[in-house]
Amino acid sequence: DTGVSQDPRHKITKRGQNVTFRCDPISEHNRLYWYRQTLGQGPEFLTYFQNEAQLEKSRLLSDRFSAERPKGSFSTLEIQRTEQGDSAMYLCASSFSTGGEKLFFGSGTQLSVL
């Protein structure tokens, strides 16, 4: 399967714990995005990478959130000191830099903070 891969698919954690999610984009894509989706809502933009450079971050991305994309390949999203309000589906998407409007999403990581 050459689509966007996310791991884990589900994560249950206790409030205050740190969690890390991984995204492997489509190999030819140099743009990578993180979105958050809550029940009954559309995806909300969190951050965006062009290769290894993090070019944009949403105001939704508090200081507890950090994302990396070392070597411009896979990306990780870490949430420190999780809160119940962080419970959501975290979606990764990738695209080409040319014609980059076509986003290809992974299946997401469903986070539940107890």
Per-residue contact string for residues 15-34; x = within reach of another protein by CB under 8 A = ----------------x-x-
Give phi and psi for 91, each to the nearest 5. Answer: -110, 140
- Do residues 77 and 23 lie in contact, with contact meaning Cβ atoms separated by under 8 Å? yes
Nearest distance in Å: CB 5, another protein: 11
- Subset of residues 40 to 99 that bind another protein, contact rule: CB under 8 A: 40-45, 48, 55-56, 91, 93
State which H helix or E strand residue 75 sits in. Answer: strand 75-79
Locate 34 and state its tokens.
Answer: 């993180």
Nearest distance in Å: CB 106, another protein: 5
Nearest distance in Å: CB 94, another protein: 11
Locate 67 and state its tokens.
Answer: 């994302």
Per CB under 8 A, 103 contacts another protein: yes
Distance CA 48, CA 83 (A): 23
Give the binding site for another protein (CB under 8 A).
Answer: 4, 31, 33, 40-45, 48, 55-56, 91, 93, 100-108
